[in-house]
Amino acid sequence: MSELRHRITILRPVADTDEEGNILSSPVVEVEKAWALVLPFAAKISDGYAEKVQEVDYRVVIRYRTDVQVTDRVRWGNKTLTPIAPPYPLGGKKRWLVIECRELVEDG
């Protein structure tokens, strides 16, 4: 894992509610910047009758930390990745943390 060569930013949505308890659209705040290894591992192109969906899945590996939540987002360059599973330690040891993410590629 000496190849942590990608710079990522961990973003966290801030949930606000109005006086009736409805969740309002939430801005994101920058939690931390970290060095990471970003590996694309799957791509899915689904062409249904109603819409075409293109997804790319990534495995993001960073140094182990306990403050990454499943609701956080990962910004890598100009891409915003959404976690699809809770973060887990690589190999069961608390040295590296793996965040499996998905990027939805929009058709321009």
Sorted by where each starts, the structural domains of the chain and their CATH numbers stand as 6-105 (2.40.10.270)
pTM of structure: 0.78
pLDDT for the residue numbered 24: 76
pLDDT for the residue numbered 6: 94
pLDDT for the residue numbered 84: 93
Residue 21, Ramachandran bin (φ over 0: left; ψ between -120 and 50: alpha; else beta)? left
The predicted-structure confidence for 6-57, as pLDDT tens digits, reads as follows 999 999 988 777 788 777 777 888 999 999 999 988 766 666 665 566 788 9
Max Cα–Cα distance, the chain, nearest Å:
50
* Mean pLDDT over each residue of the chain, to the nearest integer: 84
pLDDT for the residue numbered 44: 67
